[in-house]
Amino acid sequence: MSVHVEKELPLELDLGNMCAFDIAPVSKGIKEEQLRALARDNAQVLINQMFSLPTESTKDGLLLLLPDGTTPLPRAKPLPKPKPETRWQKFARIKGIAPKKREGKLVYDEASGEWVPRWGYGGKNKALDNQWLVEEGEKEAHEKIQKLKKQGKKIKRSRRH
């Protein structure tokens, strides 16, 4: 059996889906042996075309780099219908409210070189609890001053009475 096959009408090939379509008409009185020979020739043309494609060498062997398929394949089920928008989604879209971006539960601790929880046991938020000196931020300083002023006013009022 020859590897080189000549056809009267060329096959329509879809190398991405590894399909060959023979558009040549087949007579009604054709025997099974002739059908097998025709199928073998068509498969040989497809295989010859596939071996002309670029290959990639891996540890498992050679892989063919297939192009995208040209024949659309039908789906097993129809496309799902889009879900209707909820009242909240409609309100948020009108008002321009964007969904809150969630931060991950783990953060990288450069001191230990490990991923630790952001909150909770052994979390990054506990790092300040173990330090003997912590800088006070502007907000905390302002709140402390306001608290001391209120306490001073209470002391003055209590002295008058």
Please, what is the end-to-end C-alpha distance for the chain in angstroms?
A: 119
Q: Mean pLDDT, 10 residues at a time, over the chain (161 residues)?
A: 74 90 87 91 90 91 90 90 95 93 86 88 78 78 83 73 61
Distance between CA 91 and CA 131 in Å, rounded?
46
The confidence score (pLDDT) of residue 86 equals 96
The confidence score (pLDDT) of residue 161 equals 61
Provide the 8-state DSSP code for 42.
H
Distance between CA 76 and CA 74 in Å, rounded?
7
The confidence score (pLDDT) of residue 93 equals 95
Q: What is the pTM of this model?
A: 0.46
Structure tokens at 139: 């907000």
The confidence score (pLDDT) of residue 80 equals 93
SS3 state of residue 12: strand
b/e for 56-92, b at 16 or more Cβ within 10 A?
eeeeeeeeeeeeeeeeeeeeeeeeeeeeeeeeeeeee
Q: Answer whether 125's CB lies under 8 Å from 119's CB.
A: yes
